[in-house]
């Protein structure tokens, strides 16, 4: 859930509410303490007033008791009952339990003596009304003694409460002074805090605006690299700073693009001036290319003349040798990126083997065996000759006689399997693994399938390394086949030391180029 952005308005409201809250707390604290002290003083005041009322009610009760006993009038009796009830009501709220407090003990004694006094007064009234003179006189004397005790107790309670009032007044004054000092300190702290908040917040607003103004002046001077620091905040100033940085970056990129375009236009102008020179060089290159085409034609024409000469001189073996050499050279002059049928490749291989037999007449024997219908499959050009050459130059180089090289083409589970085998020195398992290892650049091309011309890379490497005929090694043949078919498992090698080697090519019966056509 997205938080509500901390806008400047919201911050102002928040800080204002914080200040109001602080002042409210101070006011509430002062009010609470003032009311607490007021309640204490009010309680003491009510206690003093209650003591004076009890004193007054006791005096009137005594007065009307004596008056009734003397005159026995109904008015005095009514007034006695009235003040008796009031005095009884005055005793009702007083403490009646034993507490470790002088006032509480005095109140308890006052309740006990006051209750006894009222009972004795009632007994005197009843005896008077019954004309029992000795009883009412005795009851009156007891009530008079109790009244004296009550006056003492009431006076003592009044004195204690007066002293408590004085102490409370002094405490009230002390607490008032302390409260005034505390409230003054809190108000001063609130004022200082408010000033600090105003200063800090004003700086947080003003400083980014000043930096933005400075950055704007730098842009006006053409300096686009003076970046401003954006505070990690979520308010209008931070948003404006981010927008300013975005604008600054856009202007910088635009100016850089203008410089790049100017540089490109400059380079284009230079290229235009070079075009005329390049055209002249191109014409010279075309002339050189025509000249380079003359040399192979001259070679083949010369070989044809030699063949005719051999016919005229009845040199049959020389004629056959020259014919096979000419045919093989014509086949190798084709671009290696072109495809040929397996039959064409085997025909060229026949010519190459004929030349090898002339060179090694007794050391090596060659056999070629193919199934019917395998000649039509299309393969990269010049694939089998390097394998045969590798067997002759490396596998059978140490044999003086008895060397064998076999080439077979068979149908195998929907594919064409071509084996080139020899009984030479063989290879180690590490050498075989290294030959079959997929190089990273080859694997990437294989994973993406064949490119528009998958032979070009391998052809350039082969031609740059060792030449067109004898230098195309086994490793490059494997790479070319993998590039051409887009699969890795198209070549397998079985070899043992001093037992020979079999290189098996697994060729799809229909290549995807043929299916597309």
Residue among 421, 398, 397 at smallest CA distance from 408: 421
Supply φ then ψ for residue 71, to 5 degrees. -110, -30
Query: What is the per-residue pLDDT across 407-443, written as a single tens digit (0 to 9) for each?
Result: 999 988 888 999 999 998 888 888 888 888 876 554 4
Confirm whether pTM is higher than 0.85. no
Residue 214 to residues 201, 209, 226, 246, 334: CA-CA distances in angstroms?
A: 20, 9, 9, 16, 72
- Residue 466 tokens read as 């060792």
Least confident of 42-56, 165-179, 296-310: 296-310
Residue 29: pLDDT band with limits 50, 70, 90: confident
Tell me the three state secondary structure of residue 9: helix
- Asked whether 11 and 186 are in contact (CB, 8 A), the reply is no
Which pLDDT score is estimated for 304? Answer: 67
Residue 456: pLDDT band with limits 50, 70, 90: very low
Provide mean pLDDT across the span 128-143.
83
Beta bridge partner(s), residue 341: 378
Percent of the chain clearing pLDDT 90 (strictly above): 5
User: Does pLDDT of 313 surpass 80?
Assistant: no
- CA 118 vs. chain centroid, Å, equals 90
Supply φ then ψ for residue 192, to 5 degrees. -65, -45
Which pLDDT score is estimated for 57? Answer: 84
Query: What is the per-residue pLDDT across 234-251, written as a single tens digit (0 to 9) for each?
Result: 666 777 777 777 887 788
- CA 216 vs. chain centroid, Å, equals 33
User: Does pLDDT of 406 surpass 90?
Assistant: yes
Residue 19 to residues 11, 64, 183, 448: CA-CA distances in angstroms?
A: 12, 67, 15, 71
Query: What is the per-residue pLDDT across 342-385, written as a single tens digit (0 to 9) for each?
Result: 899 999 898 888 888 888 778 888 899 988 888 888 888 888 88
Total length of the chain: 517
Which pLDDT score is estimated for 420? Answer: 93
* Max mean pLDDT range (60-64, 228-232, 503-507): 503-507
Direct distance between the N- and C-terminal alpha carbons of the chain, in angstroms, rounded to an integer: 60
Instruction: Say whether 338-514 and 8-212 share the same fold.
Output: no
CA distance 424 to 405: 9
Which pLDDT score is estimated for 503? Answer: 93
Boundaries of every domain in the chain: 8-212, 338-514
Architecture of domain 8-212: Up-down Bundle (1.20)
Least confident of 95-104, 117-126, 311-320, 414-423: 95-104
- Residue 499 tokens read as 């037992």
**Topology classification of domain 338-514:** Heat Shock Protein 90 (3.30.565)
Is pLDDT larger for residue 54 or for residue 10? 54
Q: Which residues contact 187 (CB under 8 A, 6 or more apart)?
A: 23, 26
Residue 513: pLDDT band with limits 50, 70, 90: very low
Which pLDDT score is estimated for 277? Answer: 66
Q: How many CB atoms lie within 10 A of CB 64?
A: 22
Provide mean pLDDT across the span 211-224.
75
Beta bridge partner(s), residue 373: none
Angle between helices 74-91 and 8-71 (to 10 degrees): 140
Which pLDDT score is estimated for 501? Answer: 92
User: Does pLDDT of 502 surpass 90?
Assistant: yes
User: Does pLDDT of 65 surpass 90?
Assistant: no
Query: How much of the chain is in helix, strand and coil states, percent to nearest 5?
Result: 70, 10, 20
Provide mean pLDDT across the span 217-242.
68
User: Residue 306 burial (CB < 10 Å; 0-12/13-18/19+)?
Assistant: middle
CA distance 166 to 172: 10
């Amino acid at each position: 859930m997205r938080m509500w952005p901390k806008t400047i308005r919201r911050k102002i409201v928040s800080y204002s509410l914080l200040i109001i809250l602080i002042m409210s707390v101070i006011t509430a604290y002062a009010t609470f303490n003032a009311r607490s002290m007021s309640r204490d003083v009010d309680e003491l005041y009510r206690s003093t007033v209650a003591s004076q009322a009890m004193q007054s009610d006791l005096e009137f009760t005594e007065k009307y008791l004596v008056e009734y006993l003397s005159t026995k009038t109904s008015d005095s009796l009514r007034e006695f009952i009235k003040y008796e009830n009031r005095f009884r009501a005055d005793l009702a709220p007083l403490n009646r339990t034993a507490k470790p407090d002088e006032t509480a003990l005095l109140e308890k004694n006052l309740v006990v003596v006051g209750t006894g006094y009222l009972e004795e007064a009632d007994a005197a009234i009843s005896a008077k009304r019954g004309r029992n003179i000795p009883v009412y006189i005795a009851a009156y004397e007891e009530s008079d003694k109790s009244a004296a005790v009550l006056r003492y107790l009431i006076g003592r309670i009044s004195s204690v409460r007066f002293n408590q009032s004085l102490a409370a007044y002094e405490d009230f004054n002390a607490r008032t002074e302390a409260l005034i000092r505390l409230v003054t300190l809190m108000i001063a702290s609130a004022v200082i805090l408010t000033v600090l908040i105003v200063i800090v917040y004003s700086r947080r607003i003003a400083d980014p605006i000043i930096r933005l103004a400075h950055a704007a002046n730098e842009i006006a001077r053409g300096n686009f690299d003076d970046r401003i620091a954006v505070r990690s905040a979520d308010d209008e100033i931070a948003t404006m700073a981010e927008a300013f940085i975005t604008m600054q970056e856009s202007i910088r990129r635009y100016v850089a693009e203008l410089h790049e375009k100017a540089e490109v236009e400059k380079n284009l102008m230079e290229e235009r001036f070079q075009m005329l020179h390049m055209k002249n060089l191109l014409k010279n290159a075309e002339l050189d290319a025509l000249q380079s085409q003359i040399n192979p034609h001259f070679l083949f024409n010369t070989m044809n003349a030699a063949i005719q000469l051999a016919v005229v001189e009845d040199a049959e073996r020389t004629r056959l040798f020259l014919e096979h050499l000419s045919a093989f050279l014509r086949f190798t002059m084709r671009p290696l990126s072109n495809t040929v049928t397996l039959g064409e490749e085997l025909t060229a291989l026949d010519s190459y083997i004929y030349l090898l037999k002339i060179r090694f007449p007794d050391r090596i024997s060659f056999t070629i065996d193919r199934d019917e219908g395998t000649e039509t499959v299309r393969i990269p050009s010049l694939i089998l000759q390097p394998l045969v050459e590798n067997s002759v130059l490396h596998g059978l180089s140490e044999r003086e006689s008895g060397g064998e090289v076999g080439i077979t083409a068979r149908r195998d589970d929907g594919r064409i399997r071509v084996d080139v085998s020899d009984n030479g020195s063989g290879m180690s398992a590490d050498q075989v693994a290294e030959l079959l290892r997929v190089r990273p650049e080859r694997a990437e091309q294989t994973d993406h399938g064949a490119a528009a011309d998958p032979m070009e890379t391998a052809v350039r490497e082969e031609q740059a390394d060792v030449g067109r005929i004898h230098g195309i090694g086994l490793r490059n043949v494997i790479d070319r086949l993998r590039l051409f078919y887009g699969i890795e498992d198209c070549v397998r090698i079985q070899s043992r030391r001093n037992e020979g080697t079999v290189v098996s090519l697994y060729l799809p019966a229909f290549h995807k180029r043929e299916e597309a056509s």
